[in-house]
Structure 1
Amino acid sequence: MRLEGKTAIITGGASGFGAGIAMKFVSEGANVLIADLNVDMANDLASQLGSSARAVKTDVAQESSVKSMVQATLESFARVDILINNAGTTHLPTALEDVTEDDFDRVFAVNCKSVYLTAKHVVPLLKMQGSGAILNVASTAGVSPRPRLNWYNASKGWMNTATKTMAVELAPDGVRVNAINPVAGETPLLKSFMGEDTPEVRAKFIATIPLGRFSTPEDMANAALYLCSDEAAMVTGVCMEVDGGRCI
């Protein structure tokens, strides 16, 4: 029960890594607000998790939606202790000059602007409490980029830099900020990263991971649990690679 009495907001929490984190956090005693555009999936997960979870439809790239997400959390659980910026998207593997402006704008709105918006509405609450943890879900793409995912890579590199500068600024207020950098995993974005989902393409991806497998939601949940728990009280500004050795 490492998160007993704490409340976490998890964006993109209805599936993939976000759902894994939500399930782990509830099992460790936390209340969880599952924020996702797919409200049906979010509601399904919340119903499985019981009274410790609530689902809210959220567009993390829109300030009014993020503000409503935070208000819903306070109405349900009265406080916020942990923010997981997990919502993310990508463009398809494409030559960097051929990515459309709409795709570029969408990637940076969901992957980067969302971190600004959630900080704008959550950080004041954490400062008032004098405590809290923020976890940004970046990617190995921001550490060791793959070709043809250029602007997605750049957006995740932005998240890693944002993590470090947020950590430095918020440390005097008792707020810790860390990131995890997952390697590709069994999530709804996997096909988009690969371009096509075939045994051959999967084998090519897995060949770049020394431990020889994709990451799982449980892998990310275990790392997130540590970084957001009091066990990591002296850990801030870390961008942890949870990648089976991909970035070595």
Structure 2
Amino acid sequence: MGRLDGKAAVITGGSQGIGRATVELFIAEGAKVVVADLLASEGEALCDRLGPDCVFCKTDVTVEDQVRNLIEVAVKRFGRIDCLFNNAGILGQTGGIESMEVDRFDRVMASHGRSVMLGMKHVAPYMKQQGFGSIINTGSISGIQAVSAYMDYSAAKAAVIHLTKCVAMELGEFGIRVNSVSPGQIATGMGKTGPDALEKAAVLRELNKTRQPIPRSGMPEDVAFAALYLASDESSFVNGHDLVVDGGLIGGSSWTERQRMSASVHGALQRQA
């Protein structure tokens, strides 16, 4: 028996990376899934491979009419909507505040912040009518710690995490749980597709090995399993929570690195004595 048997879910950004891994896992666990993305060929190919319980809906998650339509598609097709995973988003821009491109800043904020708001806005009436539902929003440890290299992305993810908590307080009274999942360093295609995505993910797997106490890169499946828990009845008393999936990265440098730094400081002080 699957952990999501009989449930219907919508997953945005579902054609690649974390979204695709989550679609595959939800289907394997018995859910029916509507995949939303702008990458139509990738999304349609994924659904063709996974079978009739997986349906693609091309959607720009920053456009309200398209998000409204997405939710309606899920309800009309499956008669219910148990889970909405707001996962779509784009990369931020590097550089300092003086070089920030305003149009790009607005696109990043819309891709993460507005899209999450729109998803929750349009799924809420259906879930209220049902008396149950789970909304999951993709945050990031960049929204918890300041990341000056991608400050627009970091600010957008902070907004997602806080908006999640605010809406959880409202919708919890209707039996609807609202949580976020915040990945750390995850090896994905980083916006690439096809062979380029595989090459990018392979590079990131190698680079990420030593960035956190657990000595391997985070994988899309790691986040997918966190989303599975939040979508399932196993998390029925979890609301307004941000589930961090980062191998311990948010705690700072690894124990070995800290010991090395401590030894270096101790040695310098000894030489001064």
Normalised to the residue count of structure 2, the TM-score between the two structures is 0.84
Q: Is the 8 A contact 1:91 1:99 kept in 2?
A: no
Looking at structure 1, the residues matched to 183 and 23 of structure 2 have their Cα atoms a distance apart, in angstroms, of 17
Question: Cα offset for 1:92?
Answer: 2.9
Q: Map Cα deviations across residues 146-183 of structure 1 (whole Å, 9 max, x no partner).
A: 22111110100111101111111111100001111101
Name the structure where helix makes up a greater proportion of residues: 2
Structure 1 regions of 5+ residues with no counterpart? 192-196
Q: Alignment partner of 2:51: what SS?
A: helix
Q: Which residue is 2:140 aligned to?
A: 139
Paired position in structure 1 for 2:258 = none
- Cα deviation 1:85-110 (Å, max 9, x = unaligned): 00011223221321201110100111
Which digits, 9 at most, give the CA deviation of each residue in 1:58-117, with x for residues without a partner? 000001111121122122212111000000112232213212011101001110001111
Output the amino acid matched with 1:220. Answer: V
Q: Which residue of 2 aligns with 1:236?
A: 239
**1:96·1:149 contact (CA, 8 Å) conserved in 2?**
no
Which residue number in structure 2 is paired with residue 64 of structure 1? 65
In structure 2, how many angstroms separate the alpha carbons of the residues matched to 1:240 and 1:97? Answer: 33
Question: Does structure 2 retain, via aligned residues, the 8 Å contact 1:20–1:221?
Answer: yes
Give the letter aligned to residue 186 of structure 2: G
Answer with 1 or 2: which has the greater Rg: 2
How far apart are residue 33 of structure 1 and its match? Answer: 0.3
**2:128 equivalent to 1:127:** yes
Q: Could you say which residue in structure 2 is the equivalent of 1:41? A: 42
How many angstroms apart in 1 are the aligned matches of 2:44 and 2:223? 22
Q: How many residues align?
A: 243
Cα 1:121–1:212 shift into 2, 3 Å = same
Say if 2:188 and 2:201, in contact at 8 Å, map to a contact too: no
Deviation at 1:212, TM superposition (A): 2.5
* C-alpha contact 1:184 1:190 (8 A) present in aligned 2: no
Amino acid in structure 2 at the alignment position of 1:15: Q
Q: Is the 8 A contact 2:189 2:201 kept in 1?
A: no
Instruction: Give the Cα–Cα distance (whole angstroms) in 2 for the partners of residues 37 and 200 of structure 1.
Output: 25
**Cα distance in 2 between the residues matched to 1:2 and 1:209:** 30
Q: Secondary structure at the match of 2:95?
A: coil
Match of 1:181 in 2: 182
**Aligned pairs for 1:62-101 within 5 A:** 62-101=63-102
1:200/1:113 CA distance change after superposition, 3 Å: closer
CA RMSD of aligned residues (A): 1.9
**Pair 1:204–1:146, CA change in 2 (3 A):** farther
Tell me whether 1:247 sits opposite 2:235 in the alignment. Answer: no
Q: Give the alignment's TM-score, normalised by structure 1.
A: 0.92
Aligned match of 2:214: 211
The alpha-carbon deviation at position 204 of structure 1 amounts to: 6.1
Partner of 2:29: 28
